[in-house]
Amino acid sequence: MGTAHAASGYDYLFFMRVFPEARHPARRSSDLEGSAYVCTPKGEKIRLSLSAYMDKHLDRNTQGEAIEIRMHSSSSYSRMFSGDVRPYLEFKGVWGPDQIAVDDKGSLGRAFDADGSVYRGHSPTRRPAFPPIQFVLRGATSREFEKACSSQM
């Protein structure tokens, strides 16, 4: 779980569950999958599909290793009828002791408007609503996330 503090003054709270990719259990792989939630400043709790990538053939200790996390809306309605998977987010980070330090590379500012709502426009020249954000993900329970999300609203 982690909180991204945007320059707009709003906070985006994230909760992620990550596990080894199940499609190739016999192959030693560093591909991960899972689910995530983002609690937005608008009071929305959006469920996201998650995929993550690390270098192949890692040791069991992942400290100091790079990770790339991609998330998008997991709403089957949106994907089925419009192909729209927004919000789409990408984080790059490094595993540390009991945490992952991540940089959103500007994806939050592209995915959300300055007021905290999901950007639904289609302008190819749109600038991000706020600059890139760096924050830390730490271990937490879903109960802790729910409590933090409800207090944010």
**Residue ranges per structural domain of the chain:** 2-152
Strands 2-5 and 11-20 turn out to be antiparallel
On whether the CB atoms of residues 38 and 87 are closer than 8 A, the answer is yes
Exposed/middle/buried for residue 12 (C-beta within 10 Å: 0-12, 13-18, 19+): buried
pTM: 0.86
Interval 5-48: pLDDT, tens: 999 899 999 999 988 876 655 554 578 899 999 999 988 999 99
pLDDT greater at residue 107 or residue 54: 107
pLDDT greater at residue 60 or residue 90: 90
Interval 117-137: pLDDT, tens: 999 988 888 899 999 999 999
Interval 52-69: pLDDT, tens: 988 876 677 788 989 999
